[in-house]
A and B are shown apart, each in its own frame.
Chain A
Amino acid sequence: MTRLRAIFLTPAAVVMGVLFAAPLVVILFYSVMSRGVYGGVELPYTIENWTRLIDPLYLRILARSFVMAGAATLGCLLLGFPLALFISRGGARKNLYLYLVILPFWTSFLVRTYAWMFLLRDTGLINTVLLSLGVLREPIAMLYTPGAVLVGLVYGYLPFMVLPLYATLERIDRNLLEAAADLGARPWQSLLRVMVPLAAPGIRAGALLVFIPCLGAYLTPDLLGGSKTIMAGNLIQNQFTNARDWPFGAAVSLALMAVVMLLLTVWVRREKAPLL
């Protein structure tokens, strides 16, 4: 019995070990080595790559990643909470409403990001329409701004917020809300003091699921942002391409991984949610 289990587990363990875990170990070594002249790495070992993380130049980029991810999480919550509530009250149409959230989510992240380039460009749809209606005299620059990145992130990760929120909101006993109303609570009072506390596990799960990918976002700031919206993901990519500083890129990558793992560990401890 255990032998078959071991045979079944082996291929996955080998693939994940070789193509996922081992590469992380490789960049762990890279992160404490010196920069090679043409990219790559050289001896001697050094911790200089790690100490450079607190250089104000890079610290600003890392801080920006946190702020952007936080803002995107808040945006997803504000947009996603009412949507999840609406779906949970959808009765027979619940599944249809859920499909409508999931469907765009699985249709190519790249294409969905491109859609916003198409809308936000100077010659894009929004500017063209506003110009032809006479609302604007000249196009406003929307693409390549922090706002564009934020919209792209919220758009990209909204379903991650809606799904766990829906799962908790659906289980809330509606009698509790009626009781609150009967006892004289105004709608916003019962929302803030009854519904939100009851939905807290879903809010926490959704916030984590949005915050983590936003923190490591690369494609969205790359396509929708400009030089002033560089986030951690772009910094990493840049170190491995233009800057040819692999050791520093490796250090940033691992710092990002460390934050992600820390957040997850705290969450798993707190919620006692099982892994898989």
Chain B
Amino acid sequence: MLALYAVAAYAFLHLPLLVLTLFSFNASRFTVWEGFSLAWYRAMFRDGQLAEALANSLIIGLAATALATGIGTLCAYALWKRRSPLVSGTLYLSLVTPEIVAGISLLAFYQWIFRNFGWQLGMHTVAGAHVAFSIAYVVVVVMARLRMLDPGLVEAAMDLGATEWRAFREVTLPLVAPGVAAAALLAFTVSFDDYVITSLVAGVDSETLPMVIYAMAKRGVNPVVNAVSAMIVVGLGALILLSERLRKA
């Protein structure tokens, strides 16, 4: 009985994406199966707008991941040493703030600043937004790893004459490296996937992949969206599996 229920719940979780993927291989443009075809994948690879958006997403994702991982790892270490209710409270709040609120307020902030300097929205504003909302994820993952660590190891290193910096670099960091890698993959996933905040703070030259998918989905039936979606599901799924592996390593 319970197993039957679980099967139904798993079907609810997985069937929509499986069906979506299946129909990306459909020869017909409509939701009637007319045989196997890779036409939509070919169309996807020929689409210049998609390629450009993918490039933007990758650039923003990689830049934001690098920054957020570095900043977040240092922050996790500092919070592990001693709590800071203000900083952890802010990070916690950033995790639960509705995306639309975070995006709107950031847009208002950017425009308020930029008016005085004549700056424009673009890749940098999107990357900044992504760094801000990924840091909390990095801190949570790295912190979980740090908590598994024996604090005696750092103390031992320092008793043996290492400076704290050296103990961090040569003892702590190598030990939490899998956690840092897992956090980076997670941050990249969150960045690559974001639509709401990105669409608000993006400029004309910084359209990302989710923004293009959103526009296509709004316009109506288009199997190319299915093909792109399937690629994203597989790609991000692989990253997350890798991240989980590392987190538990």
Asked if B51 is an interface residue, CB under 8 A from chain A, the answer is no
Asked if A50 is an interface residue, CB under 8 A from chain B, the answer is no
Contact B91 A16 (CB under 8 A): yes
Contact A112 B17 (CB under 8 A): yes
Contact B109 A107 (CB under 8 A): no
Contact A83 B6 (CB under 8 A): yes
Asked if A261 is an interface residue, CB under 8 A from chain B, the answer is yes
Asked if B82 is an interface residue, CB under 8 A from chain A, the answer is yes
Q: How far is the CA of A131 from the CA of B164 in the complex (A)?
A: 70
Indicate whether A27 sits within 8 Å of B105 (C-beta atoms), given known contacts A11-B74, A125-B19: yes
Partner of B108, one of A12, A27, A85: A27
Per the 8 Å Cβ criterion, residues 228-276 of A in contact with B are: 233, 236-237, 240, 246, 249-250, 253, 256-257, 260-261, 264, 275-276
Partner of A108, one of B31, B71, B78, B210: B210
Per the 8 Å Cβ criterion, residues 157-212 of B in contact with A are: 164-165, 168, 186, 189, 193, 195-196, 200, 210
Contact A106 B189 (CB under 8 A): yes
Indicate whether A110 sits within 8 Å of B213 (C-beta atoms), given known contacts A19-B128, A155-B16, A250-B108: yes
CB distance from A272 to the nearest CB of B (A): 14
Asked if B114 is an interface residue, CB under 8 A from chain A, the answer is no
Indicate whether A82 sits within 8 Å of B74 (C-beta atoms), given known contacts A15-B135, A111-B17: no
Partner of A125, one of B23, B112, B129: B23
Contact A4 B101 (CB under 8 A): no
Give every chain B residue within 8 A of A249 (Cβ-Cβ): 104
Closest to A82 in B: B5
Contact A114 B20 (CB under 8 A): yes
Contact B143 A276 (CB under 8 A): yes
Asked if B120 is an interface residue, CB under 8 A from chain A, the answer is no
Give every chain B residue within 8 A of A82 (Cβ-Cβ): 2, 5-6, 9
Contact B97 A118 (CB under 8 A): no
Chain A interface, DSSP helix/strand/loop, else mixed:
helix
Asked if B56 is an interface residue, CB under 8 A from chain A, the answer is no
Contact A83 B240 (CB under 8 A): no
Contact B129 A236 (CB under 8 A): no
Q: How far is the CA of A6 from the CA of B81 in the complex (A)?
A: 11
Contact A155 B12 (CB under 8 A): yes
Number of B interface residues at 8 Å Cβ cutoff, please give it.
86
Chain A, residues 189-228, CB within 8 Å of chain B (1/0): the string is 0000000000000000000000011011111000100000
Contact B213 A20 (CB under 8 A): no
Per the 8 Å Cβ criterion, residues 83-136 of A in contact with B are: 83, 85-87, 89, 97, 99-104, 106-112, 114-119, 121, 123-125, 128, 132
Closest to A259 in B: B98
Asked if B236 is an interface residue, CB under 8 A from chain A, the answer is yes
Per the 8 Å Cβ criterion, residues 8-46 of A in contact with B are: 8-9, 11-13, 15-17, 19-24, 26-27, 30, 40
Residue of B93, B101, B112, B225 with highest tally of chain A CB at under 10 A: B101
CB distance from B72 to the nearest CB of A (A): 7
Contact A256 B101 (CB under 8 A): yes
Asked if B55 is an interface residue, CB under 8 A from chain A, the answer is no
Indicate whether A110 sits within 8 Å of B214 (C-beta atoms), given known contacts A15-B132, A218-B98, A256-B101: yes
A sample of 29 inter-chain contacts (CB < 8 A) reads A1-B81, A7-B74, A9-B75, A11-B70, A11-B75, A13-B87, A16-B90, A19-B106, A19-B109, A20-B132, A26-B105, A86-B2, A86-B9, A89-B2, A99-B244, A101-B13, A103-B241, A107-B232, A110-B217, A114-B20, A118-B23, A123-B30, A123-B221, A155-B16, A158-B13, A216-B97, A219-B195, A236-B101, A236-B104
Interface residues of B (CB under 8 A from A): 2-3, 5-6, 9-10, 12-14, 16-17, 19-20, 23, 30-32, 70-72, 74-75, 77-79, 81-82, 84-85, 87-94, 96-102, 104-109, 111-112, 128-129, 131-133, 135, 139-140, 143, 164-165, 168, 186, 189, 193, 195-196, 200, 210, 213-214, 217-218, 221, 225-226, 229, 232-233, 236-237, 240-241, 244
* Nearest 8 CB-CB pairings of A with B: A216-B98, A12-B75, A23-B109, A23-B105, A19-B132, A86-B6, A115-B16, A8-B74
Interface residues of A (CB under 8 A from B): 1-2, 4-9, 11-13, 15-17, 19-24, 26-27, 30, 40, 79-80, 82-83, 85-87, 89, 97, 99-104, 106-112, 114-119, 121, 123-125, 128, 132, 155, 158, 212-213, 215-219, 223, 233, 236-237, 240, 246, 249-250, 253, 256-257, 260-261, 264, 275-276
